[in-house]
Structure 1
Amino acid sequence: MSTILYILNALLLGGIIWLLYRRPGLQPIKKHLLPALGLKLLAGILLGLLYHHYYHEGDTLTFKNASLILTKYAGQNPEGYLKLILFNDFENEAFRASVPFSRLPNFSNSFFFIKLLSLLNLLTNSQYYLNSLYLSLFSFWGTTTLVATLVSHFPKYKSAAVLAFLYFPSVVFWSSGVLKDAILFGSMCWVIAAAIELAKGKLLSKVNWLLLPFLLYLFVRIKFFLAFIAIPLFLFYCLIRLLAAKANMLKSIKAQQLALLVAFSLVGTIGIYLALQYNDAFFFHNLVDTYEDILELSQARPHISFASLEPTLPSMLGNAPKAFFSAVFRPFVWESVNILYLLLSLENLLILALGLLALLSMVKNGVKEVTLLQVCFILMIVCFGVIFGLSTPNFGTLSRYRIVFLPFLVYLLLQNRYAQQLLAKLRL
């Protein structure tokens, strides 16, 4: 039975990979598909080995064990399992208590992921590493869709997109395997790619229109507060680009940028006001509580610490610069001799070097015209960087969470003249 299972899954995975490789839209990056896919699938396997044999604990193991409970329940009570999957309807409180993250099933993104994983178990017979391959492949599908879209519309920066999204180490590693981040990254990249296509006046295919609500739902369900920022931002991007073709007042790029900043600031102000009013500023209190909980467990390791972090807007804004800087550039190489932190610090050293190179290019060559999409990416990077810098003081956890903005930052940093000259020599 086990052999047949692996053969069937191998055929299915091979078929999906073949369809992915044959997709017309991915032709601009076709030579990178197989190498990058191999790296992605390997990363998912290595992630599982790391947690199983080094950490012996962590989210991926918790998700795996919780999904096994639901999958076992599916065999015992198929009707009850279907009600649980569709309506979060538990048979009894004792069963609910046995499943992690099920206290608030309608709101918990972890419980939602456990349900998805339990469904995948039905296909893979609960084989962890088969699940890893499927989830890594989903993430890769969304990522390559975005990369191909960027390359199609901005071919000058092809190498920058390929390196930032397909080969940057922590991005590849943490967007793979049995973690929520694989679903988050794949769905987010796909949604942004769709927004870019629509903004350029290209109609999505019927299949993509059918996929769009599903992928939007995944994005929102896995990380609501990120979707709350990204979706309005790229919706405004689409509207402004489409209106610019008809409205004279939006013909210039500066007018488009101003319209985007005004619209996004207005929505952001309303969002912050509602966050402060809702349930005694629940979001701000939850952010501070998360920071304090993680900080308590991180004292023996390099971490971000603030002199005072309060659930108030002035406190958040006052700590925002340090939070963003730490989220992007720390830990430094001298902050830890632990091999995993050292690898992370070396990657951060590369990011710092790219930042200095971009700054030097700006000083020497001036600032060229900034596109509306670049403004969108900058706004997203700043918002996501500040939020995760404030809420996640542990650099190990932060290295995983920051993949939602890191490749966009690297993509922008690689667009300066000096970086482009270096990339031209690589001929990617």
Structure 2
Amino acid sequence: MAEITLTDYLLLPVYLWLIYKIAYFYRKKYYPKGHPYQSYFIPALTVKIAGAISIGLIYNYYYSGGDTFNFFYHSQIINSTFMRSPHAWFSLITHRADSNDLVASKALSDMYWYDDIPAYTTSCIGALIGMFCFTKYLVINVIVASLSFIGSWLFFVQYARQYPNLIRYVAIAVLFMPGPIIWGSGLFKDSFCLFAIGCLVYCIYVLFERREFKISLVLLLSVSVMLLILIKAYILILLLPLVFLKTLLVYRKQLSNYYENRLPYYIVMFIITVSLFFIVRRVSHRVSAEAVQTTLETIKRQKDYLLHVSLLSDGSAYDLGDFDPTLGSILSKFWPAVNVTLFRPYVWESRSVMEFFNSFESLGMLLLTLYLLVSRNIFKTVKNIITDPTLIMCLLFVLAFSFVVGVSTYNFGSLSRYRIPGIPFFMLFVLVLLFKDRPAAAPAAAEGNEVAAEAQPVS
């Protein structure tokens, strides 16, 4: 049964008009003519919206279903209770449904993801958005794409400020990569993760590096952290310490500029190190060896199960080889896992149209990486990395994230979605290293305009 109806097509132009009306007003206010970011704003929003519509049409008419419509199905069930019982609707949204409530009980009986917190959270956000658009799939998709764009845009603004001579390449890395455009725009978990990641790194940058305190940024940071906890907590676990590490390294550079000796920096480092020691010591008492072993065995069982299911379903499985449920054995798959996340599927491994599309993105990233390795002096490249806190953060996050995703997915179709939070960091890392030492393309006046007209996207 088709989830996209005639009403979707009738309502879609109205909501697109409203979204673009807001977007043009925002651009005119914060990025007027002559601002170096101005030319990227509407095109970046447009490709996100086009991606959301395209992936919805593909899943509806080509696949006749999929995860995005499963999320939407739950959103429909939640919102169907509102007219009969607002209390039941609210209890479902807050995941506190009472089985003794007849309306809530009926809704619960129709759901199969209620106890799957990440999936159900995605459905609840879809339901909340649906309350403003009659719970129509295509309209929800374009609104989700707009939210995802906000996160990507804040991510772009932060690093465009840090690399004012590389704005075009930062835009390519963050705003115009095909994977995040397609898989990070519709009603998917990853769309909300992109929103949360972009907002998180931007808020920490403004609050801690620029030291500009704003209540709105604190609230946005809190929402971003909560979203990642509910949807994909491992991203927060990997990213948050690295973002603060980057902030610490920035402080170190600033202190070295203001003081001939670095005593204040070493005092701060000592305090942080001692604090972390006691935190780790306290946590270690709660994490037994049995718990660690159980986690490793779970990873092993999940690998065997996912690989088996992928082989039976559509043949788009990949295998990193067998490993034992021990830390050393799992870590032995580190580089194969990183490779599969960033550079596979290879073109000849594609078994479907969508995999063929994904393989070209992988091929492009592989060729860029090889070009970086052969065209740049290795010692100068290493120096550029270790002297740039942003590149250090990007490299560490990409390696850790790619390992976790690669060692736990075992299906190219799922991998194409799961890897997209890492793509902006990887592309930013590669493109900055490739073009960082090139002379500025824009005249000094353009940089002056950027500083003078620097927008405050969250005020």
Q: Give the structure-1-normalised TM-score.
A: 0.86
Deviations 1:349-390 (A, max 9, x none): 211111111112333773265311211111110110000000
Query: Which of the pair has more CA radius of gyration?
Result: 2
Deviations 1:84-136 (A, max 9, x none): 2225223346642421211355xxx1111111111111111011010011100
Aligned-partner Cα distance in 2 for 1:89–1:376: 41
Report whether the alignment pairs 1:330 with 2:344.
yes
1:390 aligns to what? 407
Question: Which amino acid letter does the alignment assign opposite residue 208 of structure 1?
Answer: L
Aligned-partner Cα distance in 1 for 2:281–2:17: 51
Aligned CA RMSD, in angstroms, stands at: 3.7
User: Which of the numbers 102, 107, 113 marks the counterpart of 2:114?
Assistant: 102
Aligned-partner Cα distance in 1 for 2:139–2:271: 47
Aligned in 2, Cα 1:364/1:102: closer, same or farther, shift over 3 Å?
Answer: closer
Report whether the alignment pairs 1:170 with 2:179.
yes
What is the DSSP-based 3-state SS (H/G/I as helix, E as strand, rest coil) of the residue aligned with 1:126? coil
Aligned-partner Cα distance in 2 for 1:273–1:410: 39
1:70 aligns to what? 78
2:67 aligns to what? 59
Aligned-partner Cα distance in 2 for 1:128–1:222: 20
Report whether the alignment pairs 1:13 with 2:19.
yes
Report whether the alignment pairs 1:152 with 2:161.
yes
Aligned in 2, Cα 1:266/1:350: closer, same or farther, shift over 3 Å?
Answer: farther
2:127 aligns to what? 118
After TM superposition, give the deviation of residue 275 of structure 1 in Å. Answer: 6.6
- Structure 2 spans left out of the alignment, 5+ residues: 1-6, 443-459
Question: Which amino acid letter does the alignment assign opposite residue 141 of structure 1?
Answer: I
Question: Which amino acid letter does the alignment assign opposite residue 348 of structure 2?
Answer: W
2:99 aligns to what? 91
Aligned in 2, Cα 1:369/1:155: closer, same or farther, shift over 3 Å?
Answer: farther
Question: Which amino acid letter does the alignment assign opposite residue 177 of structure 1?
Answer: G
Report whether the alignment pairs 1:355 with 2:372.
no
Aligned-partner Cα distance in 1 for 2:20–2:372: 41
Deviations 1:311-340 (A, max 9, x none): 321121111111111111111122235332
Aligned-partner Cα distance in 2 for 1:331–1:3: 35
Report whether the alignment pairs 1:344 with 2:355.
no
**Quick check: 184-193 or 12-21, which moved more?**
12-21
Question: Which amino acid letter does the alignment assign opposite residue 82 of structure 2?
Answer: A
2:49 aligns to what? 41
2:4 aligns to what? none
Question: Which amino acid letter does the alignment assign opposite residue 405 of structure 1?
Answer: G
**Quick check: 148-157 or 243-252, which moved more?**
243-252
Aligned-partner Cα distance in 1 for 2:9–2:55: 24
User: Which of the numbers 399, 406, 413 marks the counterpart of 2:430?
Assistant: 413
Deviations 1:124-149 (A, max 9, x none): 10110100111000000110111011
Identity of aligned residues (%): 21
Deviations 1:216-237 (A, max 9, x none): 2112221111111211221233
What is the DSSP-based 3-state SS (H/G/I as helix, E as strand, rest coil) of the residue aligned with 1:410? helix
What is the DSSP-based 3-state SS (H/G/I as helix, E as strand, rest coil) of the residue aligned with 1:123? coil
After TM superposition, give the deviation of residue 190 of structure 1 in Å. Answer: 1.2
Residues 276 and 282 in structure 1, CA contact (< 8 A), matched pair in contact too: no
After TM superposition, give the deviation of residue 305 of structure 1 in Å. Answer: 0.9
Question: Which amino acid letter does the alignment assign opposite residue 96 of structure 1?
Answer: L
**Quick check: 53-62 or 230-239, which moved more?**
230-239
Report whether the alignment pairs 1:190 with 2:196.
no
Aligned-partner Cα distance in 1 for 2:265–2:168: 25
Residues 166 and 435 in structure 2, CA contact (< 8 A), matched pair in contact too: no
Question: Which amino acid letter does the alignment assign opposite residue 316 of structure 1?
Answer: I
Report whether the alignment pairs 1:215 with 2:224.
yes
Deviations 1:182-214 (A, max 9, x none): 111011111112222334333143322332212
Aligned-partner Cα distance in 2 for 1:349–1:359: 15
After TM superposition, give the deviation of residue 75 of structure 1 in Å. Answer: 2.0
**Quick check: 384-393 or 338-347, which moved more?**
338-347
2:453 aligns to what? none
After TM superposition, give the deviation of residue 175 of structure 1 in Å. Answer: 0.9
Aligned in 2, Cα 1:278/1:163: closer, same or farther, shift over 3 Å?
Answer: farther
Report whether the alignment pairs 1:306 with 2:297.
no
2:418 aligns to what? 401
Structural mapping, 1:176-325, within 5 Å: 176-242=185-251, 245-246=254-255, 277=289, 279=291, 281=293, 283-299=295-311, 300-325=314-339
Aligned in 2, Cα 1:278/1:203: closer, same or farther, shift over 3 Å?
Answer: farther
User: Which of the numbers 130, 137, 140 marks the counterpart of 1:128?
Assistant: 137
- Structure 1 spans left out of the alignment, 5+ residues: none
Aligned-partner Cα distance in 2 for 1:378–1:271: 27
Q: Give the structure-2-normalised TM-score.
A: 0.80
Aligned in 2, Cα 1:281/1:61: closer, same or farther, shift over 3 Å?
Answer: farther
Residues 40 and 173 in structure 1, CA contact (< 8 A), matched pair in contact too: yes
What is the DSSP-based 3-state SS (H/G/I as helix, E as strand, rest coil) of the residue aligned with 1:414? helix
Question: Which amino acid letter does the alignment assign opposite residue 403 of structure 1?
Answer: I
Residues 302 and 394 in structure 1, CA contact (< 8 A), matched pair in contact too: yes
Residues 51 and 182 in structure 2, CA contact (< 8 A), matched pair in contact too: yes
Question: Which amino acid letter does the alignment assign opposite residue 374 of structure 2?
Answer: L
